[in-house]
Chain A
């Protein structure tokens, strides 16, 4: 390919810059949504939240982000339709990144509840369907993704509902909630450890440790995840043992000390939330970059290869940069607004959302973390845990779907045509 030898480096740099821009946007805005619940419930400070987010977003992206990245890279556009013109895929992916990035910036400035996932998927579908041809888009996959956008908040809601109901039945409605909280909370911690280790081992090993030839069977993975869960629970129990009951504060609110115990648990679920977010949303920025890099390296579109680790690293770094430069501001405003989420409620919402997102990541389905979290919060509300929920937000979210998909698509089409006109 003449074009590739001439402009290969340029495209590579462009892809990295656009990808980093997009990842920055995810870190600046999306992460704050995911972590805001922890900050709002006063379980952790903003500084701690940023630290946790940096570490676990990175781990999530690096260890479990490969699957969704592949979907974004070559799951939506059918590569066989592009065999003759591999450069089109490259233009398209760059356009999609640019379109989604700009759309996110506009939306964030206007305060619309849009999702990074929806913008990038909309943009990719847009350039694929119009720029290349209707056949180029894998419509069955799109259908699957679209359904998951409705289903994931529902599943998260159900899990959160069950979790909070279990907390009510096991702890809050009993005679000595404090002692019971200390007894049962390590079990929830175990769940967090088990879940994350499981997904990491199943998905992460595939691309990160693939070279070293380490392979585990399902039983082995379950065993290691079980051990890891126990270790997390033991560490958590140690932290819990230092929490003392505050009799005087309990006179005002009987659950004061109990909530302090839940605050410890919330640190763990905050980690899982950051991990889940990293595993799913980094792909939005990284998938298109991976596609561009694939074309440049091989000169074809059909060569299936593992997503290179350095690209995942790029995305993870972008997220951390976004968080450090801008995300903390957003988090500060959200944290002040969410006072309804006490630690006992917040943990149920976070764990419900995190487990749904992590499972979606493992299946390679790009879902919206924010919308999943909204579903989970509603679930806790239905379990009679939250004073008041503003149901209008649900309408706003539906509207954002209707607007974001065409907006991303149209912009991507325009950019695609420009690229095509300039480079041919």
Chain B
């Protein structure tokens, strides 16, 4: 039986949006395990982790589609529809990049040169940390909604996004350092391997960058 009062409520996009970010951040977080496995030369474990990441990415894709389909024009929401759609796209990108990083490294059985191993781990860890912080910020969306996007809640989110920016700067610095070191040793490694190393480093940097842009989008929702 239909009922005007319960019919009045459209599916709120906030909860699924947060779930989507959780999936994306989980994709990125698994890269830690993945990297440890590749550094140990345990390609069995690496492949399992890659499959897990791919599965998570699939779920994220599915959720993204659901979200887009459930946002008709007749839905009245406290935040602009376009901003939410942008936010989903960015979050989805985080999951995609994480999958690509693992995909390239697994596909090429990439061995990180010992000279830059520590820096590589450092770069990946700091990049994953950015995506984690993005998740923390996105998780504030329901509280923001409850308080009508004003008051103390805003300050809390501002603070979170400031931390996010700082973390992204850290990742940026790591990326610069590792590029520097790689440049010094690139002549000693096979050229194609060097090319793909640069590519993966690029991607890891992009992971941090995209996670940070999720935060900037959130900031846009607050700017009114």
Q: Which residues of A contact B (CB under 8 A)?
A: 32-33, 36-37, 40, 108-109, 111-113, 165, 168-169, 172-175, 253-255, 330, 333-334, 337-342, 344, 370-371, 373-374, 377-378, 381, 383-393, 396-397
Contacts and interface: CB of A to CB of B under 8 A. Distances in A.
Interface in B1-41: 1-15
A391 B75 contact: yes
A172 B4 contact: no
Nearest to B15: A387
A385 B9 contact: no
B150 interface: yes
B76 interface: yes
B6 A370 contact: no
B17 to A, nearest CB: 10
B152 interface: yes
A387 B12 CA distance: 5
Contacts of A384: 78, 145, 148-149
Interface in B186-217: none
B86 interface: no
A240 B12 CA distance: 30
B74 A108 contact: no
B76 A113 contact: no
**Residue from the set A109, A173, A175, A344 with the largest chain B CB neighbour count within 10 Å:** A173
A374 B143 CA distance: 24
B199 to A, nearest CB: 39
Nearest to A383: B148
6 contacts: A112-B2, A168-B150, A173-B152, A339-B9, A371-B4, A390-B75
Given A254-B143, A388-B9, A389-B9, 12 more contacts: A40-B6, A112-B2, A113-B2, A173-B152, A334-B3, A338-B6, A340-B12, A341-B9, A373-B5, A389-B75, A392-B74, A393-B7
A109 to B, nearest CB: 8
A173 B7 contact: no
Given A174-B151, A253-B143, A388 B4 contact: no
Contacts of A330: 1, 3
B147 interface: yes
B145 A387 contact: yes
Interface in B133-157: 142-143, 145-153
Contacts of B143: 253-255
Contact of A387 (B1, B2, B6, B13): B13
B183 interface: no
B4 A33 contact: yes
B77 interface: yes
A385 B13 contact: no
Contacts of A337: 3, 6, 9
A33 B5 contact: yes
Contacts of A111: 1-3
If over half of A's interface residues share one DSSP class (helix, strand or loop), that class is named, otherwise mixed; here it is helix
Contacts of B10: 387-390
B8 to A, nearest CB: 5
A169 B147 CA distance: 8
Contacts of B9: 337-341, 386, 388-390
A338 B3 CA distance: 11
Contact of A172 (B11, B142, B147): B147
B4 A397 contact: yes
A10 B78 CA distance: 58
Contacts of A333: 1, 3, 6
A113 B5 CA distance: 9
B75 to A, nearest CB: 5
Contacts of B77: 387-389
A108 B1 contact: yes
A40 B77 CA distance: 20
Given A253-B142, A388-B75, A113 B7 contact: yes
Contact of A36 (B3, B13, B14, B153): B3
A385 B145 contact: yes
**Residue from the set A32, A168, A393 with the largest chain B CB neighbour count within 10 Å:** A393
Nearest to A344: B146
B142 A334 contact: no
Nearest to A336: B6
A174 B12 CA distance: 25
Nearest to B154: A173
A370 B5 CA distance: 7
Contacts of B5: 33, 36-37, 334, 338, 370, 373-374, 377
A129 B3 CA distance: 31
A50 B35 CA distance: 58
A390 B9 CA distance: 6
Contacts of B151: 168-169, 172-174
Contacts of B146: 172, 255, 342, 344, 385
Contacts of B7: 113, 390, 393, 396
Given A36-B3, A338-B9, A381 B152 contact: no
A237 to B, nearest CB: 24
Contacts of A255: 143, 146-147
B5 to A, nearest CB: 5
A340 B8 CA distance: 10
Nearest to A168: B148
Nearest to A370: B4
